[in-house]
Chain A
Amino acid sequence: MRKLLFALVATIFSFSAMAGGHAEWWKNAGAPYAGTTLQGIAENTPPGQFAGDVLAKEFEALTGIKVRLENTSWDQMYDKAIKDMEANSGIYDFVYIEQDIVYDYLNRDFLVNITEGLANNPDLQAPGVSLDDFTTFIDYFKDGSGDVFGVPMEAFIKVYLYRKDLFGRADAKAQFRAQYGYGLTPATSFDQWRDNAEFFTHFCAEQGMECWGTTVQGHTGHPASTYEFLESIAPSFGLYNWGVNMDSYQSCVENGGQLNGGRAKAALNFWTQLLPFAPPEALQSTWSEVGSSFAAGRAAQGWVYGENAAWIATDAEKSAVVGKVGVMLPPTAPGVMTQAASGNGYIGYFDGGAYGIPHSSKNIEATMLWLQFVAMNDHQADWAIAGGRITHKDTYADPKVMAVDEQADGYFSLMRDTGFLYAGAPPFPFHGAGRGAIDPFIYSALAGEMTPEEALDGACQALDQVMADLGYQD
C-alpha cells in the first residue's frame, strides 16, 4: 500500500514537474479531447524516436490524448504525408516538415497557421509555453508576416567528426609526417582532408583495423548523396543555393548560374576522389548509415549530421567510439568563412524540422495542444541529449546538456557559437523536382560513369529544364 501511494505521489509529482507546474491546466485543456488519437508521421531519427517513445507517452498521461507517431524512412515519410495532404484525406494530424520542404508546403497551402490558431483559441494557449523560447531556427517555419506554421522539434548542424584516438597515436603522427612532410591533425583544408583520408586507409589496413580514412554519404540510388554534395561539400567550396542564380533561376554557367562552374567542379572532384578512402559501404550509405559507420569505428573523419553526433560521442550501447570523438567545423575554401560570417554565404547545412498541422487534420485543436507540449522547455534537455538537437535558446545552458557537451567535445557549444555560419536550404518551392533532376548525375559521378565535369554539365541542364518547365525562368 505504501509502495502504491509512493508511486502515485511520484507520478503526480513527475507529471506536474514535466508540465511546468501546470498539470491541472493540461488536464483540463485535454479533457474535451480525451480518448482522441492523434496520428503523426516523421522520419525515423533519434529526435523522432524520443518524441514517439517518451513525449507521446507523457502527453497521453497528462491529457488523455493519445499520440501515435509513425517514424518511418525519409522517402516514405514524404510520400505518405504529401499524398495525405494532397488528397485532403486527414489521416495525419501532424506531419514532419523538414526545413528544405517548408517552402513547398507553404506554397501549396498545406499547413495550418499555428500563430493564428492559438490567437483565435485563447483557451488552447498553454501557460509557460512561448514560441519566443525557440532559437532563430523557428524563422524558417514562418511566413512573410511572421506567423508560425511549424513547431521546431529538431535543429542541428553537419559537423566534421574525427577520431581523437587515431589522430593522437604517436606511431600515426610519425608515419604521417614522414610520408607527407607535415603534422597529422584534423583537417582544416581540403588537401589535408584528402591526405588524412589516404593515410588512415593505409594505416588502418597495416594495423589490421577495420577502418578507413573518411566517410562519404554516397548512396548511388538515394538523394542523400545529392544532399551531401549540395548542402555540405558545395557550400564549403563557396557554391551556394545549388549554384542557382536567384534572380533568373538559371543554374548553368553560360546562363548566369554556377552549378557547373569552377567551384562546383572542384567540390565534386574533391568529394568523388575521397571514395577510395571511404568504407566500402559508402556507395550504399545515406545519413543513417554514415552515422552507424562512424559509430562502429569504421572511419577516421567525416561529415556527420549533428543528430548523430551526440549519441556517437556518448552512448556506449550504440557506439564503439565513445570518448574518442572530436568535433570541429569542416574545412572551407578561402573566402567562404568570411562570406558566411557576413551573411553572404554559408559553410554547410543547418538541418532540422518541425511538426506542422495539415489543414486536412480532423483534430486540429488537440494537435495544437500536442505541439505546445512539444515546445515546452521542460523536456528540451533530455531531448537534446537523446537526439543531438537543440531548438530552444535556454537548452544550451542546461547542466545536463553541458555535461554531454563536454563528453561530445563541445558539439553543442559549437552549434551555439557557429550556427550562424550555417544555413537552411534555399527557398525553392520546386525543391523536390529540382533535386530529383540533379540526382542521377550525382549518382553517375559517384559510380564513375561520368566525370564530375560531365555530371555537373548534365545536372545544370536538367535543373534548368525543370525550372523552365515549372515557369520560374522568364
Chain B
Amino acid sequence: MFSNNKKGWLLLSPTIFILIIVGLVPFFYVLYVGFFKWNPLAVDPSMQFEGFGFNYRRLIFDGVFLESIWRSIKFSVVTLTLELSLGFLLALSLLSSFPFKKFFRGVHTLPLVIAPIVVGSIFKLFTVQGLGPLPHLLKDYFGYTLNYGMNADQAFWMIVIMDIWHWTPFVTLTLLAGLSALPQDPYESAKIDGANNFQIFVYITIPMMVPVLIVVIFIRLMDSLKIVDEVWMLTGGGPGYATRFTGIHIWKEVFEKRYYGLGSAMSILYLYITIVICWILYSVMVSRGKSED
C-alpha cells in the first residue's frame, strides 16, 4: 500500500515532519523532563531522577494544583453551558430575517478576531476600579461595588463573562452553519403531524445537530480548559488563588518558580485529564445519539 501511494506520502512528508518537530518532540521532551526533579535555582541545579512516579506522586497530594484543576473544570462547565445556550439562541435568531441582520452578524463576530491578550486588556480597561467605566456605572446606577481585585467571586465571574463575550460568536457561527445545512423534510413532516416549535426543536433540531454540537463542545472544552492569556491580563490569577486556573498555575510553577520537572509532570497529568474528560463526553454523546436513532 505504501509503495502505491509514494506520491501521497511525499506530499505529506513536509506536514508530517513539521508535526513531529512541533508536536511529538516537545511532547516527549516534556514527558521525559516530568520524571526528573529539576529546578535550576536549586543548590544542585542538575536533573535528578528520583523514580518515575516522583513528581506524579507529589501532585496527587498537591492541594493547590488539584484545586486549580477543579477550578478549570468548573469554569469550563459554566462557560460551555452558557456559550452553547446563548450561541444556539443567536444562531436560531440569525436564521430568521430582521432589520440590520447583516450589521448585527458582523458586529457580533468581531470579538472572534481579537487576540485573547487584547480581550484581557479591553476588559481590564473597562472594569478596573477607579478608572474603568463599568465600576462607576454599576455604583452610580445600582449601588453595586465591582472590585474583582478584592472579591474572588467577582473575579471568577468576570473571567466567565469575558470568555462568553469572546467565544460565543464562534459557537453561534458554527451552529448557524450546521442549522443552515439541515434538511427541511423532517421539519415539514413534523408540522404536518402537528408538532409545536418546542417539540420540533427538542426532537428534530437537536438530534440532527448532534455532530455539530460534538465538534463545538470539544473545541470549546479544550480551549476553556487551557485558558491563560485573558486571565493573565485581567487578574493575573488573583485575588489569592481565585482565578488561578491550571494553565496559569503551571506557568507560575515553571517560569516563576522554575520547577521544570514538576511543571512538566503537571502538564502531562493535565493533558491526560483533558483527554479523559473529552473521551467520557464523547462516549456519552455518541451513545445518546445512537439510542435516539
**Chain A interface (Cβ < 8 Å from any Cβ of B):** 79, 82-83, 86, 104, 107-108, 218-222, 279-284, 293, 298, 429-433, 435-437, 440, 443-444, 446-450, 466, 469-472
Cα of A279 to Cα of B128 in the assembled complex, Å: 12
Cα of A466 to Cα of B259 in the assembled complex, Å: 10
Determine the chain A residues whose CB is within 8 A of the CB of B149 once the complex forms: 218-221, 282-284, 446-447
B240's contact among A220, A433, A435, by CB below 8 Å, is which? Answer: A220
Cα of A449 to Cα of B42 in the assembled complex, Å: 32
Determine the chain B residues whose CB is within 8 A of the CB of A429 once the complex forms: 41
The answer to whether A443 and B239 touch (CB under 8 A), given A281-B131, A298-B130, A432-B258, is: yes
Interface flag for B43 (CB, 8 Å)? yes
Determine the chain B residues whose CB is within 8 A of the CB of A220 once the complex forms: 149-150, 235-236, 238-240
Interface flag for B45 (CB, 8 Å)? yes
Q: A222-B236, A283-B239, A470-B41 are in contact. List 19 more A-B contacts (CB 8 A).
A: A107-B45, A219-B238, A221-B235, A221-B238, A280-B129, A284-B149, A432-B257, A436-B252, A440-B241, A443-B239, A446-B149, A446-B239, A447-B151, A447-B238, A447-B240, A450-B240, A470-B39, A471-B42, A471-B43
B259's contact among A104, A282, A283, A433, by CB below 8 Å, is which? Answer: A433
Chain A's closest residue to B146 (CB) is A280
A447 touches B256 (CB 8 A): no
Determine the chain B residues whose CB is within 8 A of the CB of A79 once the complex forms: 255
Interface flag for B224 (CB, 8 Å)? no
Interface flag for B178 (CB, 8 Å)? no
Chain A's closest residue to B253 (CB) is A436
Hey, what's the 0/1 contact readout for B131-172 against A, CB within 8 Å counting as 1? 100010000000000010111100000000000000000000
B41's contact among A218, A222, A433, A444, by CB below 8 Å, is which? Answer: A433
The answer to whether A440 and B240 touch (CB under 8 A), given A219-B149, A281-B131, is: yes
Q: How far is the CB of A212 from chain B (nearest CB, A)?
A: 9
Q: How far is the CB of B274 from chain A (nearest CB, A)?
A: 24
Cα of A144 to Cα of B48 in the assembled complex, Å: 28
B39 touches A108 (CB 8 A): no
A283 touches B129 (CB 8 A): yes
B239 touches A447 (CB 8 A): yes
Interface flag for B264 (CB, 8 Å)? no
Cα of A280 to Cα of B44 in the assembled complex, Å: 45
**Chain B interface (Cβ < 8 Å from any Cβ of A):** 39-45, 64, 124, 128-131, 135, 147, 149-152, 235-244, 252-253, 255-259
B152 touches A281 (CB 8 A): no
Determine the chain B residues whose CB is within 8 A of the CB of A471 once the complex forms: 42-44
Cα of A433 to Cα of B40 in the assembled complex, Å: 10
Determine the chain A residues whose CB is within 8 A of the CB of B42 once the complex forms: 430, 469-471
Q: How far is the CB of A354 from chain B (nearest CB, A)?
A: 20
Determine the chain B residues whose CB is within 8 A of the CB of A279 once the complex forms: 130
- Could you pull out 11 A-B pairs where Cβ atoms are within 8 angstroms? A219-B238, A221-B238, A279-B130, A284-B128, A284-B129, A298-B130, A432-B257, A433-B41, A440-B238, A440-B240, A446-B150
Q: How far is the CB of B175 from chain A (nearest CB, A)?
A: 34
Q: How far is the CB of A205 from chain B (nearest CB, A)?
A: 14
B130 touches A437 (CB 8 A): no
Chain A's closest residue to B128 (CB) is A284
Cα of A413 to Cα of B128 in the assembled complex, Å: 36
A281 touches B236 (CB 8 A): no
Cα of A469 to Cα of B253 in the assembled complex, Å: 13
Determine the chain B residues whose CB is within 8 A of the CB of A446 once the complex forms: 149-150, 239
Query: Which residue, A221, A430, A470, has most C-beta atoms of chain B within 10 A?
Result: A221
Cα of A218 to Cα of B240 in the assembled complex, Å: 12
Determine the chain A residues whose CB is within 8 A of the CB of B128 once the complex forms: 281, 284
Determine the chain B residues whose CB is within 8 A of the CB of A450 once the complex forms: 240
Cα of A219 to Cα of B42 in the assembled complex, Å: 28
A447 touches B252 (CB 8 A): no
Determine the chain A residues whose CB is within 8 A of the CB of B43 once the complex forms: 470-472
Determine the chain B residues whose CB is within 8 A of the CB of A430 once the complex forms: 41-42
Cα of A449 to Cα of B130 in the assembled complex, Å: 22
Query: Which residue, B41, B236, B257, has most C-beta atoms of chain A within 10 A?
Result: B41
Cα of A281 to Cα of B131 in the assembled complex, Å: 7
Cα of A139 to Cα of B250 in the assembled complex, Å: 35
A447's contact among B44, B152, B244, B258, by CB below 8 Å, is which? Answer: B152
Cα of A108 to Cα of B40 in the assembled complex, Å: 7
Q: How far is the CB of A27 from chain B (nearest CB, A)?
A: 42
Determine the chain B residues whose CB is within 8 A of the CB of A282 once the complex forms: 129, 149
Chain A's closest residue to B255 (CB) is A79
Determine the chain B residues whose CB is within 8 A of the CB of A83 once the complex forms: 255
B41 touches A104 (CB 8 A): yes
Cα of A219 to Cα of B238 in the assembled complex, Å: 9
B147 touches A221 (CB 8 A): no
Chain A's closest residue to B132 (CB) is A281
Q: How far is the CB of A134 from chain B (nearest CB, A)?
A: 28
Cα of A446 to Cα of B148 in the assembled complex, Å: 12
Cα of A222 to Cα of B255 in the assembled complex, Å: 14
Chain B's closest residue to A281 (CB) is B130
The answer to whether A283 and B147 touch (CB under 8 A), given A430-B41, A449-B152, is: yes
Determine the chain B residues whose CB is within 8 A of the CB of A448 once the complex forms: 150
Cα of A293 to Cα of B128 in the assembled complex, Å: 13
A221 touches B39 (CB 8 A): no
The answer to whether A280 and B147 touch (CB under 8 A), given A443-B238, A470-B39, is: yes
Chain B's closest residue to A435 (CB) is B256
Query: Which residue, A79, A282, A437, A443, has most C-beta atoms of chain B within 10 A?
Result: A443
The answer to whether A433 and B152 touch (CB under 8 A), given A222-B236, A447-B239, is: no
A280 touches B135 (CB 8 A): yes
Q: How far is the CB of A228 from chain B (nearest CB, A)?
A: 14
Determine the chain A residues whose CB is within 8 A of the CB of B129 once the complex forms: 280-284
Cα of A221 to Cα of B44 in the assembled complex, Å: 30
Determine the chain B residues whose CB is within 8 A of the CB of A82 once the complex forms: 255
B258 touches A433 (CB 8 A): yes
Chain B's closest residue to A433 (CB) is B257
B239's contact among A107, A431, A432, A449, by CB below 8 Å, is which? Answer: A449
Determine the chain B residues whose CB is within 8 A of the CB of A218 once the complex forms: 149
A449 touches B240 (CB 8 A): yes
Q: How far is the CB of B284 from chain A (nearest CB, A)?
A: 36
B257 touches A466 (CB 8 A): yes
Determine the chain A residues whose CB is within 8 A of the CB of B238 once the complex forms: 219-222, 440, 443, 447
Chain A's closest residue to B145 (CB) is A280
Q: How far is the CB of B201 from chain A (nearest CB, A)?
A: 42
Determine the chain A residues whose CB is within 8 A of the CB of B40 once the complex forms: 86, 108
Which 8 pairs of residues, A with B, have the shortest CB-CB distance? A221-B236, A283-B149, A221-B238, A447-B239, A281-B130, A220-B239, A471-B43, A444-B240
Chain B's closest residue to A450 (CB) is B240
B257's contact among A86, A298, A437, A449, by CB below 8 Å, is which? Answer: A437
Chain A's closest residue to B43 (CB) is A471
Determine the chain B residues whose CB is within 8 A of the CB of A107 once the complex forms: 41, 45
B39 touches A433 (CB 8 A): yes
